[in-house]
Structure 1
Amino acid sequence: MAFALRKRGPSNFERASDGSMTLIEHIRELRNRLFRASLAILVGFGFGIWLATPVRKLLSEPYCDLPQAQDPETGVCKFVQLGVADVFLLNLKIGLWVGLIIAAPIWLYQLWAFIAPGLHRHERRYAYVFTALAAPLFAAGAVLAFFVTTKGLEFLLNISGDDIATTLEVTRYISFVTNLILLFGVAFEFPLIVLMLNFVGLVSAKRLLGWWRIAVFVFFAFSAVVTPTPDPFGMTALAICLCALYFAAVGVAFLNDRRRGRGKEIYSDLADDEVSPLDLTPEPVEAGQRVDGVTPVDAPDPVAAPAPIERRYDDMT
């Protein structure tokens, strides 16, 4: 007995790509993807609450490893809690951040699955590459921020002197560390913006290389503002990393320009305010081909005169 195979219709991705999906179907798909992403974040938040205390202790290590932070009698690192529910609210905040990180593959996929049908194939390919590079760059910035925090706290606590007892408030300290990690991680995404401008054809690699002095100055100024301490160590570390990433992005831009053949166009070696040379060499004019005579057009056929109106209609019409 033969069974007929059921023919599958086009998927939601194909229908959204070719524009056959209606507005109500788009809204329904957005609702479903938001529900799945929210459910994944809720599950990740549950794991985040479970991991909140170990993560808080991990973030406290830059301060607790310093001799000034340890109690001389017990040797235990202690923080100050000003409010009754400060630590509880802090654990909720840490749990939410950890939950977002744990559920990131799911809610990022739901976001991408809703946006991807509206992009071209090469745009989706670039998005895959940029996403694959964004996560390691952010992680590298977070590690550098953790290292800079350790050196910065050591510098700041040594300034206070032995006559001043320093005890940090736990919520302000954790907010300080997490904000610094977020800021350094976002700063390390700057090379991706440079590559995006080059890949879409807005800026050439040669022009990016010509801006290196401005870029280095901006990186050092940005590092001087965002680093928590006035010592030159943290500022120099962040600025050097950003400069290295910028020149690496310029190198990739040169490879992309060579692959696409940019810079080989006519007049590409001329400046914007330079007049292009004109070729005034006269060229010989060749004799044109002979044009045949036009054949006469036949006279049109005569048009018959319309019949009287009484002959074109009967009694019924």
Structure 2
Amino acid sequence: MPTLLRKRNSEGRMSLGDHLRELRNRVLIAALAITVAGVLGWIFYEHVINALTKPITDLANQRKASGGNALVNINFAGLTDPIAIQLTVSLFVGLIVASPVWLWQIWGFIVPGLTKKEKRVARLFIVAAVPLFLAGCALAYFMLPKAVSVLLGFTPDNAANLQDAAAYLNFVLKFVVAFGCAFLLPVFLVALNLVGILPARLMLRGWRPAVMLIFVFAAIMTPTPDAYTMCILALPMVAFFFAAVGIAFIFDKRKAKQDPGWLDVPDDEASSL
């Protein structure tokens, strides 16, 4: 019998071996979904690659219109680069399209022992996770032209800037996926709260280091030197963090009615945050 359907013991716990087998099965399901969805990326590759390289082509057209150097474009340097890049872009599309499947697999592995009522609530959060991930990806694509324009703007007018296609697309794809994953912050915070690992009190006490880490993450993931682009990513993440804290307080009140002692956090653990 597949481990995903294997019954847990009376306490709802699983052995280490069962956990590893469940992890293997969920990884396989997620990988298969991404691969199947990647077929769409292969079919619509021309449209996707044109959209991803549009910031560079637009910059080249602007330079040409202003009488400057128009040699700004991507360059397929190697013999195998075209097919390798097409495969990479196809898997990237598969990752986006199959996000409901692999997000569900991650969620199912993190919160396996919930009650029936908690599972109904959990389904609402996985429904929220997909739009949040897609919204993060959309925001990254919206910010991509500014990032490319700022970075390539340092190129002198009398010099060409032919970007290696593999390096450019690697930068773009990581940029987009990083924004999408960043927007999943509230979902995973609430997941940790649901399984009893992260009470809302601890989340709220640690808001200062959390906000600092969010801005550090945003500064690393936004390659432009201006603070505007960093804030575009950091401010929504901060808002999501406090929204997750509010939702966690609601769940904590419900859990406290059933187990009043579960919110008792040792002082040394709380003060560390």
1:59 paired residue number: 52
Q: Which residue of 1 aligns with 2:40?
A: 47
Q: Which residue of 2 aligns with 1:189?
A: 184
Q: Alignment partner for residue 153 of structure 1, among 143, 148, 155?
A: 148
* TM-score when normalising by structure 2: 0.72
Q: Residue 245 of structure 2 aligns to which amino acid in structure 1?
A: V
Structure-2 residue corresponding to 1:242: 237
CA distance in 1, matches of 2:110, 2:209: 35
Deviates more, 1:203-212 or 1:234-243: 203-212
Shift of 1:117: 8.8
Decide which of 200, 203, 213 is 2:198's aligned counterpart. 203
* Cα gap change, 1:153 to 1:125, in 2 (>3 Å): same
Q: State, as a whole percentage, how many aligned pairs show the same letter.
A: 36
How many Å apart are 1:47 and its aligned residue?
2.9
Higher relative contact order (CA 8 A, sep 6+): 2
Report the 3-state secondary structure (helix = DSSP H, G, I; strand = E; otherwise coil) of the residue aligned with 1:94: helix
Give ranges in structure 2 of 5+ residues lacking alignment. Answer: 10-20, 269-273
Count of residue pairs brought into register by the alignment: 251
Matching residue of 1:84 = 79
Counterpart code for 1:168 = Q
Q: 1:120 to 1:16 in 2, by over 3 A?
A: farther
Distance 1:230 1:158 in 2: 12
**CA distance 1:68–1:126, shift in 2 (3 Å):** same
Larger Rg: 1
Aligned match of 2:221: 226
**1:165 aligns to 2:160 (yes or no):** yes
Q: Which amino acid aligns with 2:45?
A: A
The answer (yes or no) to whether the contact 2:74–2:168 under 8 Å persists in 1 is no
What are the Cα deviations for residues 62-115 of structure 1, in whole angstroms up to 9, with x where unaligned?
A: 222225676569x89742111123122211221233245445666778999999
Distance 1:130 1:108 in 2: 10
| In 2, Cα distance between equivalents of 1:159 and 1:240 | 27
Which position in structure 2 is the counterpart of 1:257? 252
2: CA distance, partners of 1:215 / 1:41 = 32
- Aligned twin of 2:173: 178
Partner residue of 2:126 out of 127, 131, 151 = 131
Distance, in Å, in 2 between the alignment partners of 1:117 and 1:204 is 18
- Structure 1 residue 179, shift from structure 2 partner: 0.7
Q: TM-score, normalised by structure 1?
A: 0.63
Q: Look up the equivalent residue of 2:43 and give its one-letter code.
A: W
For 2:53, the aligned partner's letter is S
What letter is aligned with 2:178?
A: L
Secondary structure in 1 matching 2:119: helix
Per-residue CA deviation, residues 282-308 of structure 1 (Å, 9 max, x unaligned), is: xxxxxxxxxxxxxxxxxxxxxxxxxxx
Shift of 1:258: 3.4
Structure with the higher helix share, 1 or 2: 2
| Contact 1:52/1:91 (8 A) holds in 2 | yes
Question: Counterpart of 1:193 in structure 2: which amino acid?
Answer: F
Whether contact under 8 Å (1:49, 1:95) holds in the other structure is yes
The SS at the match of 2:160 is coil
Return closer, same or farther for 1:41/1:148 CA change in 2, 3 Å cut-off: closer
Q: Please say if residues 114 and 195 of structure 2, whose CA atoms lie closer than 8 Å, have aligned partners that are also in contact.
A: no
- Residues 81 and 212 (structure 1 numbering): CA distance in 2 closer, same or farther, change over 3 Å? same
Q: Evaluate the alpha carbon distance shift between residue 175 and residue 212 of structure 1 in structure 2; reply closer, same or farther with a 3 A threshold.
A: same
Letter in 1 for 2:49: R
In angstroms, what is the RMSD of aligned CA positions?
4.3
